[in-house]
Amino acid sequence: MSVFCSKLGILEAVVKYIKENFDLTYSEIADLLNRDQRTIWNVYNDVKNYKISIEDSFFIPVSIFSERTLGPLEALTLFLKEKNFKNAEIAKLIDRDRRNIFTVWKRALKKRGDAS
C-alpha cells in the first residue's frame, strides 16, 4: 500500500502526508496547495484517523497539486504519465482501476489544451 490508497482521495492523502510528516500548519499547507486553509483543516479532520504507509519511494512534487485547473487525481496522473509511467503502473501505485487512469489522463490533457 502507498500513501495513495483507495480509501482516501488524492487531496486527502496529500494533506494527511504533509501534515503528519512535515508538521506544517494548515495555513502553510494551504499555501503549498493553493487552497483555503479551512478546506485543509476540514480535509485533515476527515482523514486524521486513517493509517497510511510509505512503501514506495518516489518523489512527487507538491507543486503539481497547486494548479487549480486540474483536480488532484488529474494532476497526479498527468505528472506520472509525463514520467513515462504506463496506465497499469499508475493504477497500481495509486490503487485505482487502470481503465480509469486512461480516462482521467485524457480529461487532464483536454483541460490543459493538449488533446485534439
Q: Give the pLDDT confidence of 53-63 residue by residue, as tens digits.
A: 666 567 889 99
Q: How far apart are CA 65 and CA 34, in angstroms?
A: 8
Structural domain range at position 56:
10-112
Q: Minimum mean pLDDT among 26-30, 43-47, 111-115: which range?
A: 111-115
Does any domain span residue 2?
no
Q: Minimum mean pLDDT among 28-32, 75-79, 93-97: which range?
A: 93-97
73-84 in b/e form (b: 16+ CB < 10 A) is: bbbbbbbbbeee
Does any domain span residue 95?
yes
Does any domain span residue 1?
no
What is the domain count for the chain? 1
pTM: 0.83
